[in-house]
Copies of this chain bind each other. A is one copy, B any other.
């Protein structure tokens, strides 16, 4: 029985290659990888990453941490400024029985509150620093103050982290990687000045990965230096955003949405993969709502819940897919597409095998 379209297809060979390449590059730079599991939400992919030398996983929510820690991962960072209530604190305490857990704080209030609810649990915190994305995180010079509040309230402070999300724009990756390491070093100095030891500088994203590994002033791996850790997520699969940012080639894209052409007219074809399969993400610099893996001229120009309208530039000569034909769509943002599916489908010798999206919807 064929898998009915639309479905997400994983190219296992490409996935393994993407995982291996990043692991090798990080090892060469003496940097630890803690891949962000929000991208794949899959125990199968997490196992590949951990087997390739990843130090642990990054997640965004307590719910994601629960899925991975209850299934064998013993070291998880929740790279998010949690605001704890009694219930979330209890859940974190339970996780601390399963392994090493840390999460983010970006205010004195959140740090002090977390200390009251979690003191003595073994759960650690990292101070989140704003390195230019201007979303969450404190200014580097304020990191010591937050770290001190955590430390005084009884919470072990592991170090500082940031997300260089401003690297998600054409030509901005190198500058964002530089801003990241500048901010992390300044934040570390702020902690040291406050009398809080810094054991870890954590950063990273897929667009900035290469620039971050290429730090000429790196002291990573030197005796006495804090650990340096990067948290890329999308690198395992790639997506149309990374393609358009020049971070991946189409030949690296390891996840596509297989869709059927259901309607054809003069100017376009319509696929049965809409925003409920691909996600509706579209950056200001994206050239469409998604692309076709095997046709670089094609663009998803209009997206509804169950319709992707695909068009081509005028005068193009590429063969248009016909009614009933299957095509592979590269989603703009693979994390969003994966979170909409119950399974990823992996081609194997004996047929298609489903990989459960174990942490799908684990938003809380």
Contacts and interface: CB of A to CB of B under 8 A. Distances in A.
Given A107-B263, A135-B270, A336-B276, A305 B81 contact: no
A129 interface: no
A81 B361 CA distance: 29
A239 interface: no
Q: Give the dominant DSSP class at A's interface.
A: loop
A313 interface: no
A2 B85 contact: yes
Interface string A261-289: 11110000010111111011110000000
Interface in A71-88: 80-83, 85, 87-88
A323 B87 contact: no
A278 to B, nearest CB: 10
Interface stretch (A149-157, A195-203, A243-251, A339-347): A339-347
A52 interface: no
A1 B85 CA distance: 11
Interface in A7-52: 7, 38
B83 A261 contact: yes
A260 interface: yes
A254 to B, nearest CB: 20
A6 interface: yes
Contacts of A333: 280
Interface string A201-220: 00000000000000000000
A60 interface: yes
Nearest to A130: B265
A336 B135 contact: no
A263 B136 contact: yes
A145 interface: no
A306 interface: yes
B262 A81 contact: yes
A262 B6 CA distance: 36
A136 B262 contact: yes
A309 B107 contact: no
9 contacts: A83-B262, A83-B324, A106-B263, A109-B324, A110-B323, A136-B262, A280-B336, A305-B336, A340-B340
Given A135-B309, A340-B340, 17 more contacts: A2-B85, A4-B87, A82-B262, A83-B260, A109-B323, A109-B324, A110-B323, A136-B270, A136-B307, A275-B336, A276-B361, A279-B280, A280-B280, A280-B336, A305-B336, A305-B339, A306-B363
